Structure 1
Amino acid sequence: MKISYDWLRTLIPTTQSAEEIGKLLTGSGLEVEGIEELESVPGGLRGVVLGTVLICEKHPDADKLSLTTVDVGDGTPRQIVCGAPNVAAGQKVVVALEGAMLHPTQGEPFKIKKSKIRGAASEGMICAEDEIGLGESHAGIMVLNTDLPNGTPAAEYFGLGSDSVFEIGLTPNRADAASHYGVARELRALLRQPCHLPDVSGFQAPASAENTISVTIEDEAACPRYAGLLLDNVQVGPSPEWLQRRLRSIGLSPINNVVDVTNFVLHELGNPLHAFDADQITGNQIRVKRAEAGEKFVTLDGVERTLQAADLVIADANGAPMALAGVFGGKTSGVSNATTRVLLESAYFAPAVVRKTSQTHQLKTDASFRFERGTDPDMVPVALQRAALLLQEVAGARIAAPAVDQYPTPIQPTEVRLRLPRVAQLVGQEIGEDRIRQILTDLDIEIQEQPSLGGNAIGQDLAEHLTLLTAQPAATDLSATEWYLKIPPHKVDVTREADVIEEILRIYGYNNVALRPFNSASYLAKFPNPDPEVLRQNTARLLSGQGYSEIITNSLTNSAYFEKKGEQDATLVRVHNYNSADLDIMRPTVLHSALEVVRYNLNRRQKDLKLYEFGKAYSQKPETGKHQEQNKLVLLLTGNASTETWQHKAEKTTFHDLAGAVQQVLASLGFGNYASQPVQHPYLAGGLTLLVQNQPVVHLGAVSPGVLKQLDVNQPVWYAELDWDWLVRKYKNTLVARELPKFPEVRRDLSLVVDKTVTFDQLQQIARRTEKKLLQSLNVFDVYEGENLGAGKKSYSVSFALQDPSQTLTDQAIDQVMQRLIQQFEKQAGALIRK
């Protein structure tokens, strides 16, 4: 959102610089992401001043040049060579001094330097209007009629002030600040300076008129307030320069004076307006109603749209839509150059209704941006009057009929109880009742004398309200520990006590909350449950440190990935109001979304990928229809594990590269022991399922060729899927500090011939059950299969690390351990020990 500093100062006069205002706004929660300096003329005419020609003589060596002496107000007259035919002594002129950078109307910018022209020194330039970017004429120098002293900046004479434009990153909850007046209200509380609305005291409408336009609200919940005003004698044309300059300063392009006024008022007051060509309103009637499902409507951009029954429209007497309420106008009823009668619309629409229409038709406008966040219903008549007065000024309009303002059920302020001790508790220090009262008053929050059940008591529990009413006296002392507040409707995000305290703290200043010498908690307790976000961050750092890149993919995906032809999967979670047929379900697995990222990179010749994502998978139970979601951590590997260099060749990624990363993740979460079995996953062609505490927690292996073909991925992909919810739920911090071993570790190797069906994991489990004290680790360093082993056999070469923390191992103790291991391998795995 862009806010003009000059425009802002018309609503709250302040001497603070733009940089200081930016810091104040950022500190209060309206983050100023940048400040852009705008100039009416490129360069701002810096170094260009007014001067008087004291002497004008013919140049001794050039017939068409004059040698002048010019007073520029600094006590040192300049000698300037001038080629203009109209230069003469006594003239007040525009002088570009040495060092000034000029931006002419045509051509490239140039810098004024001290030079010699036909042998005569020249210390500046007397300027024509095109030479400083103020016009097209080059017939002669500009001769001014002014009493301003010499040395006056030319920008001041021409009224070419610069402007600063704030780029504010407006968060969704700050709808109250989505305008210049909204920001001015914020500054009023921060600076303790008054701000004011534009003067609309000159607004006068006739008491009656013959040709009026009536308004009927057929859905009061969707449109609580609707106001309209009829104007005639409207002369549509270009806007005056001041209005165009205001709009350009915030990035808008002027269109015509009528549309420009509605845009101006929207950005000034935050209340969207719409202008209808009144002659196109059939039956002189406005109906605010729901659309007929399936009816066609052509919007201002020329696109024909199919309306839905949930859409709120502004229709004529026949029910024909003229605008999508709060979103976009219609083509036939819009203002054109032939328009002479205009109906101005100013309304308050329910945010949810506007948001749904905007999303359904993929229309994002300045009006919908504000309506769907919540506008101020009390600003409706003010904006209407402001626009009418401006149209009288810039378009010669005349107010032709009384204003219509339909407001059947006025929106009441929200009532909230504020406990002063709670303020100190949440802020962390005492602020003081007087300061709190001052802040609330500056924010238009009224402190009531007594609680009331009237109004919009969103932030209060009804039972608590009743208790307060019976417990409190008729007149509540405002110095008591509990206050009762009325929150104005424009503060849509302030509905609870905590919200009020946040408002107080914003204005008080987060930086003003002092840190205590000793920070402490008000209670002591154990925290057995880990912080899921901390675990996620730690795991992300672990994977990123191994060269993996994190991806974030869409939770919506294509049902065609999962359904057979003509058959629907009842477990899929379907989206009823999807905007694209390719995004019609919530994904049942993260795999396909991640493969789309792989495909995107492969198509751009990025073939070596190491990716991970924390994402959700969704499903529903057909028998109950209940939806469920699961958090997953997925890893993908494809391409080469290392790039080719002069030292070694490129190596393809393997299953073991992926398994190693998975093992590190499990170990970091405290799951060092697990079993494995052949993979049980519908989209993997070979691999393992890892079981922790007898639960299948990890599936890893090669993505099946059918899935790769379906996603147009033309190279193998290794994939691992971890049940992140289970890992977080079962996580235990098993980090234990132990003394470094004093006695050496011993290694022994065995070569075991076993059936091909025996896995290394089975051998590992046998070894750990057999020797729990001395066996520190074991590792397979070779696997061999060959005809000399016999049919259906393979050989594992396994190393065993043995260590006793209390003494040095003897050969006898080592041999005893190895004999026990051999016996159990032979007994439980049918192993043959190769000598």
Structure 2
Amino acid sequence: MLISFDWLKQLIHTDKTAEEVGALLTGAGLEVEAIHTFDQVQGGLEGIVLGEVLTCERHPDADKLSLTTVDIGNGTPSQIVCGAPNVAAGQRVVVATVNSTLYPTGGEPFKIKKSKIRGQVSEGMICAEDEIGIGTSHAGIMVLDTDLPNGTPAAEFFGLGSDKVFEIGLTPNRADAASHYGVARDLQALTDAAATLPNVDDFKVDTTSKSITVEVENTEACPRYAGVTITGLKVGPSPEWLQKRLRAIDLSPINNIVDITNYVLHELGQPLHAFDADKIRGGKIIVKTLPEGSVLKTLDGVERKLKATDLMICDAEGPMAIGGVFGGEDSGVSEETTSIFIESAYFSPDWIRRTGMAHGLKTDASFRFERGTDPNMVITALKRAALLVQEIAGGEVSSEIVDVYPTQIKNTEIELNIERTHTLIGQHIDVERIKSILTSLGIEVTKETETDLTLSVPPFKVDVTREADVVEEILRIYGFNNIEMDENLATTFLAKFATPYAEDVTDTIMNYITANGFNEIITNSITNSNYYKPAGEAEVESLVKVLNYNSEDLDVLRKSMVFSGLEVLRRNINRRQRDLKLVELGKVYEQIDGDYKESRKLALYMVGNATAESWKQPSMKTAFHDLASVVQNVLHKLNAGEFEVQNLEQNSYMRQGISYQKNGTEIARLGLLDAAVCRFMEVKEQVWYAELNWDYLLKKYKNKLVAEELPKFPEVRRDLSLVLDRNVTFDQVKLIALRTERKLLQSVNVFDVYEGDKIEAGKKAYALSFTLLDKQQTLTDKVIDSTMNRLMQQFEKQLGAFIRK
């Protein structure tokens, strides 16, 4: 949620800086994640000032250039070469000083430097309006009519001061703070300043010439519905101040009517909707549900099949909007609109949430209705919008306010025990301080005894329904940091239980991996379904969808660890961190024939150089075996034993890779990620990736240390040179060797590979070493030769190998 500081200060006076206010709000539970600077024009006209042309002469070496001296308020006139035909002595002008940056309209930004133009020094630039980005004219320099002193920032002259914008991580329970006024209410409690609502006392009904009747059939879904008609207005662009307010919170202006409804929503937290009054058939609005399968074409041009549980705003002939969620295309405001009906309502959060989930629609209005709005703000917001419409678009109020509110939503009564409050907080707080905090938050104390307070909690405090909630409100305003630590700390004690096996193994393995230079990451298991679309419809259909997602970018549970890791790599690479080794242990999810599968994967990513550049050695690019060695060591630590190696299919997001198989189950896969996948994720580097089947490995294998006595008899090494087909892998050779000799053969290693013109085309030569050991006796030449002969026979038989003597 974005909150404009300038806008906030219109609702509550404060002398504090944006940073100080941000710290206060964060301490009170409205976490300010960032504070951004918003400039009406790019760059905020920084370094651009007002000046006065003192002298103006023709440039000695250029007929179309003028040589001027300009007072920019720093005590020393600046010499500036100017090419504008209208420059003259005595003018007040806009000057871009040396080292300032210009952001011209429709052009690329450029920095002003002290330079020589045709042999004359130029210390700045006298500007036209398009050159500083506030207009499009380039007919000549701007000549100003002002009494402001030279050196005054141009932003001050043009009224283009910057704004600070709070980015607040709003938690779901704080629906009351989902607006500028809601934040102002918290600030009121924190600073003792008074938050004030916009004045709506000037609202009046001009005529009753265009009254719209309202009928609410479903009062459970719509407890309150109000509206008013305005005629004779003109739809057009919003004034600059309104557009500035919306742009500051990252909203694009549309037209004055729509902008006003958005403005009031973000100011007061009450969603509004404007209908073209001339398109309301029968002059009647009916709030009801429609039969399953009814159709409405919404503002985005999509025809939506309605659910029987969707609350609809209808006229006498059919649906006009999905209540609280999305407007209809046919009844919306257009450039031809001259009369509007403004809707302001309180909808049941349960109904709106259900509809939003069913249609996958998330709007600013539904965001607030789903969490709960203030039924007492309905009429105030309606009057506020009507007054703004008259101020900006003209027109007159042409009906009485219709307010269908059959059963009033009452305040919640809560008993607060003072002693229990002190116990929960852990500190004694004066009762008067407690009452002051509650009153500042809009909670009324209706009755007081020595032991208890009876409270009346207004409905905008949707999360305050019990005593513990009230204590939380008191504590967050009182300040968590103000709770003192007792001199004699005491706590209950739980005996330490043995660490569960799975956690112990996981810690051991993660410690090993991080000790080898990997950085552990933790990413969101909710991700973007668009990542999987290039892989085909079947891949998308197997995703586990999030029904109540808040963002189009976070709508499914991840099926693979690949994309969440690539997001981290992209962010780091874009910040010039190009040599990366990352590891993550996380969950993946899949839907198979209606059943949901959840499993854990250990993912490793390697990018850039495997070794850093130093005086001892040059840097070396990461290669397959850098990753494979880590994976194999992890499997060794888990006592996974020997495993088969198979080539991976192309649909595994890898351009080339292998799979480690054990008893028909894949225990790991590793290789080079497909370049197309990396480009799709905007990662330009080559990415080596491995994924281990963690749940299976923990279940089947253990990382217990196995100790045995040192052998009493010496081991023996024998070497062989095999000429094989190029597609035969070392793992195939190794597997055949270990199956052929299970007792004596301890290890097989390849120490040289040759492919060249000295052997037959399509072939390669492996130089292999075999380590033999008999733990019971010394090996004899006869046994060794017999063993090696059997190995050579199997290589010839199963692989067609040629043994080089």
What's the TM-score, normalizing by structure 1? Answer: 0.66
Q: Equivalents in 2 of 1:511, 1:296: separation in Å?
A: 55
Q: Equivalents in 2 of 1:724, 1:652: separation in Å?
A: 17
Shift of the 284–538 alpha-carbon distance from structure 1 to 2, 3 Å rule, reads: farther
Q: Equivalents in 2 of 1:309, 1:180: separation in Å?
A: 35
SS at match of 2:390: helix
Q: Equivalents in 1 of 2:525, 2:629: separation in Å?
A: 28
Shift of the 646–203 alpha-carbon distance from structure 1 to 2, 3 Å rule, reads: closer
Question: Match for residue 638 of structure 2?
Answer: 661
How many Å apart are 1:313 and its aligned residue? 0.7
Shift of the 148–486 alpha-carbon distance from structure 1 to 2, 3 Å rule, reads: same
Task: State which drifts further: 144-153 or 386-395.
Answer: 144-153
1:488 aligns with 2:465: no
Question: Match for residue 73 of structure 1?
Answer: 73
> Do the aligned partners of 2:209 and 2:398 also contact (CA within 8 Å) in 1?
no
Shift of the 537–494 alpha-carbon distance from structure 1 to 2, 3 Å rule, reads: farther
> Do the aligned partners of 2:524 and 2:564 also contact (CA within 8 Å) in 1?
no
Equivalent residues in 2 for 1:567-578, closer than 5 Å: none
How many Å apart are 1:553 and its aligned residue? 6.4
SS at match of 1:13: coil
SS at match of 2:371: coil
Equivalent residues in 2 for 1:480-519, closer than 5 Å: 480-519=450-489
Deviations 1:654-698 (A, max 9, x none): 9x976963999xxxxxxxxxxxxxxxxxxxxxxxxxxxxxxxxxx
Question: Match for residue 810 of structure 1?
Answer: none
What residue ranges of structure 1 are gaps of 5+ in the alignment?
Answer: 450-475, 558-578, 587-592, 603-607, 620-627, 638-642, 665-699, 709-715, 726-743, 750-781, 790-796, 801-835
> Do the aligned partners of 2:321 and 2:328 also contact (CA within 8 Å) in 1?
yes
Shift of the 41–525 alpha-carbon distance from structure 1 to 2, 3 Å rule, reads: closer
Question: Match for residue 329 of structure 1?
Answer: 327
How many Å apart are 1:358 and its aligned residue? 0.4
Question: Match for residue 338 of structure 2?
Answer: 340
Q: Equivalents in 1 of 2:424, 2:338: separation in Å?
A: 58
SS at match of 2:453: strand
> Do the aligned partners of 2:600 and 2:693 also contact (CA within 8 Å) in 1?
no
How many Å apart are 1:601 and its aligned residue? 11
Q: Equivalents in 2 of 1:663, 1:519: separation in Å?
A: 48
Deviations 1:63-94 (A, max 9, x none): 44444343333433334343333333332222
Question: Match for residue 242 of structure 1?
Answer: 241
How many Å apart are 1:222 and its aligned residue? 0.8
How many Å apart are 1:788 and its aligned residue? 12
Q: Equivalents in 2 of 1:661, 1:375: separation in Å?
A: 55
Shift of the 54–784 alpha-carbon distance from structure 1 to 2, 3 Å rule, reads: closer
Paired amino acid for 2:479: G
Paired amino acid for 1:350: S
Question: Match for residue 569 of structure 1?
Answer: none
> Do the aligned partners of 2:95 and 2:127 also contact (CA within 8 Å) in 1?
yes
Deviations 1:620-660 (A, max 9, x none): xxxxxxxx9999878899xxxxx998999968989x97696
How many Å apart are 1:403 and its aligned residue? 0.6
1:48 aligns with 2:48: yes
Q: Equivalents in 2 of 1:81, 1:788: separation in Å?
A: 91
How many Å apart are 1:140 and its aligned residue? 2.7
Question: Match for residue 39 of structure 1?
Answer: 39
Identity value in percent: 53
Question: Match for residue 128 of structure 1?
Answer: 128
1:419 aligns with 2:417: yes
> Do the aligned partners of 1:50 and 1:72 also contact (CA within 8 Å) in 2?
yes
Shift of the 55–649 alpha-carbon distance from structure 1 to 2, 3 Å rule, reads: closer
SS at match of 2:337: coil
Q: Equivalents in 2 of 1:86, 1:341: separation in Å?
A: 47
SS at match of 2:11: coil
Shift of the 580–270 alpha-carbon distance from structure 1 to 2, 3 Å rule, reads: farther
Question: Match for residue 311 of structure 1?
Answer: 310
> Do the aligned partners of 2:231 and 2:340 also contact (CA within 8 Å) in 1?
yes
> Do the aligned partners of 1:632 and 1:722 also contact (CA within 8 Å) in 2?
no
> Do the aligned partners of 1:703 and 1:717 also contact (CA within 8 Å) in 2?
no
Question: Match for residue 192 of structure 1?
Answer: 192
Paired amino acid for 1:152: T
SS at match of 1:10: helix
Deviations 1:592-632 (A, max 9, x none): x9986699999xxxxx999865699999xxxxxxxx99998
How many Å apart are 1:97 and its aligned residue? 2.9
Shift of the 609–6 alpha-carbon distance from structure 1 to 2, 3 Å rule, reads: closer
SS at match of 1:372: helix
Question: Match for residue 490 of structure 2?
Answer: 520
Paired amino acid for 1:515: M
Shift of the 150–353 alpha-carbon distance from structure 1 to 2, 3 Å rule, reads: same
Shift of the 342–528 alpha-carbon distance from structure 1 to 2, 3 Å rule, reads: same
What residue ranges of structure 2 are gaps of 5+ in the alignment?
Answer: 515-519, 530-539, 548-556, 567-580, 605-620, 642-660, 670-689, 700-706, 713-736, 745-772, 777-805
Deviations 1:454-492 (A, max 9, x none): xxxxxxxxxxxxxxxxxxxxxx43xx2311111111111
Q: Equivalents in 2 of 1:551, 1:152: separation in Å?
A: 48
Shift of the 181–609 alpha-carbon distance from structure 1 to 2, 3 Å rule, reads: closer
Q: Equivalents in 1 of 2:90, 2:166: separation in Å?
A: 44
Paired amino acid for 1:280: K
Q: Equivalents in 2 of 1:115, 1:66: separation in Å?
A: 15
1:28 aligns with 2:28: yes
Question: Match for residue 439 of structure 1?
Answer: 437
1:368 aligns with 2:334: no
How many Å apart are 1:783 and its aligned residue? 10
Question: Match for residue 171 of structure 1?
Answer: 171
Equivalent residues in 2 for 1:282-321, closer than 5 Å: 282-318=281-317, 320-321=318-319
Q: How many residues align?
A: 630
Shift of the 581–409 alpha-carbon distance from structure 1 to 2, 3 Å rule, reads: farther
> Do the aligned partners of 2:98 and 2:112 also contact (CA within 8 Å) in 1?
yes
How many Å apart are 1:301 and its aligned residue? 1.0
> Do the aligned partners of 2:290 and 2:308 also contact (CA within 8 Å) in 1?
yes
Q: Equivalents in 1 of 2:23, 2:169: separation in Å?
A: 13
Q: Equivalents in 2 of 1:108, 1:636: separation in Å?
A: 42
> Do the aligned partners of 1:644 and 1:650 also contact (CA within 8 Å) in 2?
no
Q: Equivalents in 2 of 1:649, 1:373: separation in Å?
A: 48
1:258 aligns with 2:224: no
Q: Equivalents in 2 of 1:100, 1:788: separation in Å?
A: 79
Equivalent residues in 2 for 1:375-414, closer than 5 Å: 375-414=373-412
Q: Equivalents in 1 of 2:490, 2:339: separation in Å?
A: 69
RMSD of aligned residue pairs (Cα, Å)? 4.8
Specify the structure having the higher radius of gyration (Cα): 1
Shift of the 316–645 alpha-carbon distance from structure 1 to 2, 3 Å rule, reads: closer
Question: Match for residue 114 of structure 1?
Answer: 114
Q: Equivalents in 2 of 1:333, 1:375: separation in Å?
A: 25
Shift of the 542–272 alpha-carbon distance from structure 1 to 2, 3 Å rule, reads: farther
What's the TM-score, normalizing by structure 2? Answer: 0.68
